[in-house]
Amino acid sequence: MRMDTVIMGGGLSALACGISLAKRGKRVTIVASGQSTMLFNGGSMELLGCIDGKPVEKPLEAIATLPQNHPYSKIGADRIAAISERVKLLFSDSGIEMTGSANANHWRITPMGVAKPAWLTLNDHLRIDDLNNLPAKHLALMCVRGFFDVPNAMLAQGLRELGFEVDMIEFTTDDITSLRRSPSEMRATSLAKRLVSNHALQRVADQLNSLAGEADMVLMPSVFGQNDSSDFQTLQNMTRKPLRLVATLPPSVAGMRMMTQLRHYFRMLGGTYLMGDTAVSGTFEGDKLTSVTTAKLGDMPLKADNFVLATGSFVSRGLRADYERIYEPVLGVDVVADNDRERWTSFGVLQPQAYFGYGVATDEQLRCLKNGKPIQNLRAIGSVLSGHDPVKMGDGTGVSLITAIAAADHIRENK
């Protein structure tokens, strides 16, 4: 089976790269081993949130100060500025409505009420552009009875520390109460499946309208709209006060929604998305990768002119750690990692952990190295890359998106 480009991995970076190529008429196949870490996303993209424990205000400016081994340093601040605009376009083309700027971070609100710097946030989620000028004074924090995947009191406390006046108001509806009959399955995503019909949304809106009191904004956990934002829009139209969502613990409805929309757009552009298959090995000829074998397609490997490695970090199994070493399991390309297991991690759980920075090594054009030499038609993007730390630097989704589009550009320029 011959393609223009085969992308290994099916998460945010894979789709961004795939869409970018498919838009220009390329035949692209994405091999996704299951759903991605986007299902742990809180409804925001982060370009660069933190350096040395301090929040970054102007990410594009701060990128210039990053060390050489950071993926951004290989792309350069100017190109990142241009790519960041194209990312916004890519989202809006996919039907994902987000707001933000790469010039200046805004703040997203986490399920624990912490304000974290963000680049783009879904329009239906709570976003604060200026901590000295809050979007509302008085919030009605609506707590879904029996739903434990938002620590409501922590959230309320965090919001109060930011200067909001917060009323915590517990509520339920028949749909919610009946879901709680399940001891285990009252998750954000299951609520989103229940709260779909106009009747179900009206029952929620009735509660919001009667309970929100003096508040000038209503906050809800992000449990609406797993396919698009229309359920939220319907609810907003039924609700008298402005309504915003706050991220929950995973699985994330916002993440699921964004992935569905991106996948849908990719398919519309003619792309092929193989869900539940995994790239297992590749065949090299000289300094080129010629085909990739997958677990399911078996004796019919995927051949292509270009390949992209977007398999993610350890959690997505794009990187493997065993008793002895850290390696890239599909193609065996070079990784940047410590040999000594003792140095992979540090003692305190909240301390920086070295393993987050591990990943595959690339040249300036994001080409993977094998035995120190670049593979001409194989590029790595997203979390599989070394030199960044999504948790401590707040650069995970940013690296995914920026490197995805930069790699797509390299692939086109190479022709």
Partner 1 sequence: MAERMQLCNISENNFEQCTKCSICTTVCPVAAVTTDYPGPKQAGPDGERYRLKDPAYFDKALKMCLNCKRCEVACPSGVHIADIIQHARMDATLGKQRASLRDTLLANTDLLGTVANLVAPVANATLGLKPTKAVMHSVMAIDKHRTFPAYSRQKFTTWFKRHAAKEQDAFAHHVSYFHGCYVNYNFPKLGQDLVKLMNAVGYGVHLLDKEQCCGVALIANGLYKQAMRQGRTNIDSIRKSVTRDNRVVLTTSSSCTFNMRDEYPAMLGIDNADVRDSINLATRFIYKLVDEEKIKLIFKQDYKRRIAYHTACHIQRLGWQLYSIEMLRMIPGLDLVELEQNCCGISGTYGFKKENYELSQAIGATLFKDIADAKVEAVSTDCETCKWQIEMSTGLPVENPISILADALDVEATRQANNIK
Partner 2 sequence: MATNDIYNKEYDVIIVGGGATGAGTARDCALRGLSVLLVERNDYSTGATGRNHGLMHSGARYAVTDGESASECISENMILRRIARHCVEETDGLFITLPEDDLQYQQTFVEACQRAGIRADVIDPEEARRIEPAVNPQLIGAVRVPDAAIDPFRLTVGNLLDARLHGAETLNYHEVESLIINQNRVEGVKLLNKLNGERIEVRSRVVVNAAGIWGQRIAQTAGVNISMFPARGALLIFGHRVNNMVINRCRKPANADILVPDDTVCVIGTTSDRIPIETVDDMRVTREEVDVLLKEGVKIAPSLATTRIIRAYAGVRPLVASDDDPSGRSISRGIVCLDHAKRDGLEGFITITGGKMMTYRLMGEIATNAVCAKLGNTAPCITANQPLPGSEEDGPNQGDLTKRYSFGQRAAIGRHGSLAARIEKDNDIDNALVCECEGVTVGEIKYAVHQLHVHNLVNLRRRTRVGMGTCQGKLCSCRAASLMGEFNHDVKRAQEDLAAFLDERWKGMRPVAWGDTLREAQLTASIYEGLCGLDTAVNLQGKEDVQ
Q: Would you tell me which residues interact with partner 2 (CB under 8 A)?
A: 37, 40-42, 110-116, 145-146, 148-149, 151-154, 156-158, 177, 180-181, 183-184, 186, 247, 249-250, 313-315, 317, 320-323, 341-342, 344-345, 347-350, 353, 355-356, 390-392, 394, 396
Report the residue number, 198 or 351, with the smaller CB distance to partner 2: 351
Report the residue count for the chain.
415
DSSP per-residue letters across 192-228:
HHHS-SHHHHHHHHHHHHHH-TT-SEEEEES-S-SS-
Q: From the list partner 2, partner 1, none, which binds 269 (C-beta under 5 to 8 Å, kind-based)?
A: none
Residues in the interface with partner 1 (CB under 8 A) total 47
Six-digit token string for 28: 């692209």
Cis amide bond preceding 251, omega within 30: yes
Q: Does 384 contact partner 1 by CB under 8 A?
A: no
Hey, what amino acid is at 121? T
DSSP-derived letter for residue 24 is T
Min CB(41)–partner 1 separation in Å: 12
Position 382 contacts partner 1 (CB under 8 A): no
CB 334 within 8 A of CB 361: yes
Q: What angle do CA 412, 101, 192 make, to 5 degrees?
A: 90
Which two tokens mark 159? Answer: 């919001």
Q: How far apart are CA 355 and CA 283, in angstroms?
A: 28
Which of partner 2, partner 1, none interacts with 256 (beta carbon under 5 to 8 A by kind)? partner 1
Residue with Cβ nearer partner 1 (89 or 349): 349
Mapped onto helix, strand or coil, the DSSP state of residue 259 is: helix
Specify the residue, 186 or 411, whose C-beta has the smaller distance to partner 2. 186
Per CB under 8 A, 36 contacts partner 1: yes
- Within residues 323-352, the interface with partner 1 by CB under 8 A covers 323-324
| Complex with partner 2: residue 291 or 383, whichever CB lies closer | 383
The token pair at 254 is: 């916002």
230 sits near partner 1 (criterion: CB under 8 A): no
Q: Is 27 in the site for partner 1 (CB under 8 A)?
A: no
What is the smallest separation between the CB atom of 370 and partner 2, expressed in angstroms?
A: 23
Task: Decide if 125 contacts 244 (C-beta within 8 A).
Answer: yes
Edge-first strand listing for the sheet containing 106-109? 115-118, 106-109, 127-128
Minimum distance from residue 277 beta carbon to partner 1 (Å): 4
Comparison of 25 and 213: residue with beta carbon closer to partner 1: 25
Nearest to 29 by CA among 40, 21, 37: 21
Supply φ then ψ for residue 138, to 5 degrees. Answer: -125, 115
Q: What residues numbered 151-210 form the site for partner 1, per CB under 8 A?
A: 178-185, 187, 189-190, 193
Q: Give the footprint of partner 1 on this chain (CB under 8 A).
A: 1-2, 33-37, 39-40, 178-185, 187, 189-190, 193, 226, 250-251, 256, 260, 264, 267, 272, 274-278, 294-300, 315-317, 322-324
